[in-house]
């Protein structure tokens, strides 16, 4: 799934803010004081995004495309990030040095309900050991403010805990900011949090960059703007309704 790094920039004011770096692949995503936004230049990202964007795509195919995009973005997010253990294993004809993901250090997956569940549906095929904590927010369609209605996070995290937060759409950024503040208040380190989104917009990225320097965001596309009701344009519509057939 890897590809040679290349820069990826926006023409908006947000893209020129010094708090954010935009790239196709972070040259060293673990050692940056800026927020990094990673857009993998993979043909399968483009392919599945096209399926997800199409208004005529049926619910099942839409959900499958979002799941595939989530899988690729997770793959990129855990590159050179997962803790490993070196050991030796017996092959049918000898002994080989090997490296495996440390089974004692599960990655915490935090889907923001309900749409955030879908990009993580294939997470187990990429991450060998994980644990899932659900959170639910509802957005007021008039004020665009997010309100918490479900919180299954543990009482505390350590700065070393590795956390992936999933929400397909980063539009105004209110829901994601609320979730990240909760994680940090419980002891999580921003440097060990990865955000997975399918489509992001400059308003959300600007706010996240200001609030959480050192954060890493992995997204399939950065769209240019929001409409007057806070939807990303051109976006892909209401991801939750389309994924779960409640349009």
pLDDT of amino acid 18:
46
Average the pLDDT over each of 99-108, 139-148, 212-221 and give the range with the smallest value. 139-148
The residue to which tokens 């800026």 are assigned:
34
> Does domain 14-244 bear CATH number 3.30.300.20?
no
DSSP reduced 3-state for 131: strand
Give the sign of the dihedral formed by CA 58, CA 132, CA 74, CA 234. positive
How many whole angstroms separate alpha carbon 196 and alpha carbon 216?
9
pLDDT single digits (tens) 19-77: 556 666 555 555 567 899 999 999 999 999 999 999 999 999 999 999 999 999 999 99
User: For the chain, what percent of residues have pLDDT higher than 70?
Assistant: 87
Distances (CA, A) of 87 to 96, 99, 100, 103, 243: 9, 6, 8, 13, 42
CB 44 within 8 A of CB 71: no
pLDDT of amino acid 24:
61
For the chain, what are the domain ranges? 14-244
Q: Is the pLDDT of residue 118 over 50?
A: yes
């Amino acid at each position: 799934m890897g590809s040679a790094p290349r820069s990826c920039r926006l023409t908006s004011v947000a893209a020129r803010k010094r708090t954010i770096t935009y790239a196709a692949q972070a040259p060293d995503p673990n050692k940056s004081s800026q927020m990094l936004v990673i857009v993998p230049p993979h043909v399968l990202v483009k392919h599945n995004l096209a399926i997800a964007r199409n208004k005529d795509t049926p619910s099942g195919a839409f959900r499958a495309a979002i799941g595939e995009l989530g899988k690729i973005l997770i793959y990129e997010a855990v590159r050179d990030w997962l803790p490993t253990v070196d050991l030796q294993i017996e092959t049918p004809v000898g002994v080989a040095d090997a490296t495996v993901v440390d089974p004692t250090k599960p990655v915490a997956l935090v889907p923001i309900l309900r749409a955030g569940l879908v990009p993580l549906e294939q997470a187990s095929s990429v991450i060998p050991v994980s644990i899932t904590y659900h959170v639910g927010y509802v957005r007021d369609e008039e004020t665009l403010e997010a309100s918490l209605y479900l919180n299954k996070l543990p009482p505390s995290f350590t700065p070393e805990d590795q956390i992936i937060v999933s929400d397909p759409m980063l539009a105004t950024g209110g829901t994601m900011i609320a979730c990240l503040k909760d994680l940090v208040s419980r002891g999580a380190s921003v440097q060990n949090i990865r955000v997975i989104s399918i489509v992001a917009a400059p308003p959300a990225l600007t706010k996240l960059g200001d609030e959480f320097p050192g954060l890493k965001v992995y997204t399939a596309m950065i769209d240019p703007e929001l409409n007057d009701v806070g939807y990303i344009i051109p976006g892909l519509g209401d991801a939750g309704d389309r994924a779960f057939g409640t349009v």
